[in-house]
A and B are shown apart, each in its own frame.
Chain A
Amino acid sequence: MSTSLSLPDQQEATLPKLNYLNTEFGLKSWLLTRDHKRIALLYLVTIAFFFAIGGTAAALMRLELLTPVGDLVSSDTYNKLFSIHGIIMVFFFLVPVAPAVLGNFLIPIMIGAKDVAFPKLNLLSYYLFATGGCIELFTILQGGIDTGWTFTTPLSTHYVNTNVISAAMGIFIAGFSSILTGLNFIVTIHRLRAPGMTWFRLPLFIWSYYATSLIFVLATPVIAIALLLLVLERVFGIGIFDPAMGGDPLLFQHLFWFYSHPAVYIMILPGMGVISEVMACFSKKRVFGYTAVAFSSVAIAVFSFFVWAHHMFIMGISNYSALVFSFFTMLVAVPSAIKIFNWSATMYKGSVTFDTPMLYAFSFIGLFTLGGLTGVMLAALGMDIHVTETYFIVAHFHYVMVGGMVSAVMCGIHFWWPKITGRMYPESLGRLAASTLFIGFNLTFFPQFILGYMGMPRRYHAYPPEFQALNVLSTAGASILAIGYLLPAMYLLWSLKYGKIAGSNPWGAAGLEWEIQSPPLTENFVETPVVDHEAYDYEWLAQKHEHEVKTLG
């Protein structure tokens, strides 16, 4: 198969003598670092750990659902499993993974800066995240929580005996990490761009992360206050969400989804940024309709604030507001579709190669489109009321979150791995893992669309026997999916020591990050770069290389 990969001669190539990984050594140099690249790696390790916990919970659930009767775990334990799976995966994996890992590493480099605007605040964000995570681990050790990740009132405030308070406080603290990260990115992108790096010369990655950061700073404070009120209600029983005392449980839903729906776009927008970079690189072409893709990111961020009540269609909101929210929800499909069409058009007449990151990007486009289109189905009121609280919903958001975002994260990690570590992973294994993930994912979640449409409700540990065949398929798919995660974990770790030397630009990609050494210096750039060309200028890049060859010859 064709490839863009060109590595330097392995006999002569060495890693740069000085880089951000070897300027300082020892645990302290990592734990107290203010280097955005090292903080990104701290996040990567921590988030991988949480992903493993959330993944284990998911594996146990799928095992339980292999048979129609509850034979592996009791219903109480099952409730705790899906709650902890949801909380860990949403708040401690999907929300932080792309911004905190890829964003932290790449945003300053891509705009030509030495670091983020507030390096100390960046480190503080990491510790807030880690503290929130520890509280969540403490919650699990204390016996877990069984409200689901949505903390629905009055269930969470009055009727369960599990650790609602510690789980909510863990998310509350980790929320400040999100707010401060978003703040840092916004200020960095506004104030620290290199000379000549105008807004419309920014890579689309930056536009996506800017839109994500807007949601971070505007939405996260609202869930903070919602969880604070939840804890106060549970501790003091003051009745703000208790209908018996005149409170309104729906108010909690409004406040919760005012964050949690935009949070869905926190989870997907950075992925879209990654895909834009990868599509351009492996088509060797400027992204088609740059301005449209850039503004569609901002449009998604803006629309995301006007759709939250579509999570509440069956909760007794007024019919008129349901109509309005249904309309806005369908409207979000427009900017998302703009992106999908523009990426497809980017490939048209490009010189497309099928390297590992590109396979993940294909996987993203296909799976995200399916997840997005089922989202439009769910935006229709009649359809939503029919399939809500069934496996259709579960399949829909896993197509977006796992099929979309996890593919995009894997795509990003594989694309920038040579930049982060200076070494290449085995390309053939990478392609195998990308294909495994795609096959395993579809086998796991496509049957769930059918199950949901047939009426199997979510969040039960037992089900009628006629649903078993599809559930067995789903569990079998989950085991393939698990291989799709474990394989990259193994060869990426292997590549840290044994991978081939990557050189500064193994993919022949455009962008400031590919013009510096891999791994970069602590200060990123020896001299502040001056930008005099558009993003994704592959013609300029090709000419530059032609020139180099001529002078050498």
Chain B
Amino acid sequence: MDSQAIASEPVGPHENQDAHDHPPYLVHHFATIGQQVETASFGMWVFLVTEIMFFGGMFMAYLLYRSWYYHAFVAGSNLLSIQMGTIMTATLIVSSFTVAMGVYCAETRNRKGLIVSLIITLVLGLSFLGIKADEWHGAYVEHHIPGANFSIEDFVHPTDARDIPMAPDEALHTQIFFFLYFSLTGVHALHMIIGCCVLSVLLFQIWGGAYMDGHTSMIQNFGLYWHFVDIVWIFLFPLLYLISRHPLK
């Protein structure tokens, strides 16, 4: 019954000393700051693995239907705006750079630099979402929303002379392309929205003077998340916009 004997003296002298000689951001169940930082970063990486599996299901569906309905996927892809896609890709790549700058500034305790780079990141993220919304609105106007107002008119009677008209039953399969387009970009946009919300909270905290004590786990892990969401887009852009397009004139 040795441990019960110990319990009669619940707060050992060891713990009392402990309470004073560690920084305030060390959570009680970690022994050292190093352990706490490593734990947070490792947790973020495991979370990103689950995210890969989450998107993986939709990529699997894309792979299956693309191999089944190749022509419908080409026709659907041809209707997406390559200019908008490129602008969005560039926006995200630049935002990845600014978020990396933010992490650097946080580590070097450069408050002004941190605020500026995160604000630029937020603006770029929001403009990505704006362009995305405009593109979706365009799809709505052209009756490309599956299940809501889908019309196969554009594929049976294409306006672009380079497109080969499709038979109505084959053209119906473009609906699956557009469904995958909306679900993939939709879930990606949801991740962007969550990212922008977290970013706003971080900016609010930094404005109040947070993260200037060298403990930048939160900023670093947010950076990891932001980069991950960018990388998903780096896969979506070629799969949805670029692959097997008809040649530009």
Contact = CB atoms under 8 A, between A and B. Distances in A.
Interface of A: 8, 13, 16-19, 113-115, 117-119, 179, 183-184, 186-187, 190-192, 217-222, 224-226, 228-229, 232, 235-240, 245-248, 251, 254-255, 258, 503-504, 515-517, 521, 523, 526-528
Contacts of A190: 42
A217 B176 CA distance: 29
Contacts of A235: 147
A218 B176 contact: no
Nearest to B57: A225
23 contacts: A114-B29, A118-B39, A183-B46, A183-B47, A183-B50, A187-B39, A192-B29, A221-B50, A221-B51, A221-B53, A222-B57, A225-B58, A226-B57, A232-B179, A238-B175, A240-B65, A240-B180, A245-B172, A258-B57, A515-B2, A515-B3, A523-B29, A526-B10
B86 interface: no
B49 A218 contact: yes
B204 interface: no
Contacts of A240: 61, 65, 176, 179-180
Given A183-B43, A183-B47, A219-B53, A526 B147 contact: no
B243 interface: no
A551 to B, nearest CB: 12
Interface in B35-82: 35, 38-39, 42-43, 46-47, 49-51, 53-58, 60-61, 64-65, 68-69
B83 interface: no
Nearest to A9: B1
Contact of B64 (A13, A236, A248): A248
Contacts of B180: 240
7 tightest Cβ-Cβ pairs between the two chains A and B:
A236-B147, A225-B57, A221-B54, A114-B29, A221-B53, A16-B7, A115-B29
Interface residues of B, number: 47
Contact of B38 (A118, A191, A219): A191
B46 A245 contact: no
B7 A19 contact: yes
Contacts of A219: 53
B39 A192 contact: yes
B185 to A, nearest CB: 14
B24 interface: no
Contact of A517 (B4, B14, B28): B4
B201 interface: no
A17 B39 contact: no
Nearest to B51: A221
B175 to A, nearest CB: 6
A30 to B, nearest CB: 19
A21 to B, nearest CB: 12
Nearest to B64: A251
Given A226-B57, A232-B183, A236-B146, A503 B28 contact: no
B7 A521 contact: yes
A367 to B, nearest CB: 32
A247 B176 contact: yes
Interface in B150-189: 172-173, 175-176, 179-180, 183
A247 B172 CA distance: 11
A238 B146 contact: yes
Contacts of B6: 517, 526
Given A225-B57, A238-B175, 11 more contacts: A13-B1, A183-B43, A218-B50, A220-B53, A238-B147, A239-B179, A246-B69, A248-B68, A251-B60, A517-B3, A526-B10
Contacts of B12: 526-527
Nearest to A227: B57
Contacts of A245: 172-173, 175-176
B61 A229 contact: yes
B16 interface: no
A255 B59 CA distance: 11
Contacts of A527: 12, 14
B31 interface: yes
A220 B52 CA distance: 12
A504 B176 CA distance: 62
B7 A503 contact: no
Nearest to A250: B64
B28 A114 contact: yes
A227 to B, nearest CB: 10
B61 A179 contact: no
Contacts of B39: 117-118, 187, 191-192
B54 A528 contact: no
Given A236-B146, A236-B148, A255-B57, A191 B35 contact: yes
Given A17-B8, A240-B176, A528 B31 contact: yes
Nearest to B56: A222
A236 B146 CA distance: 8
Contact of A16 (B4, B50, B183): B4
B64 A237 contact: no
Contact of B46 (A217, A246, A247): A217
A16 B50 CA distance: 42
A167 B56 CA distance: 23
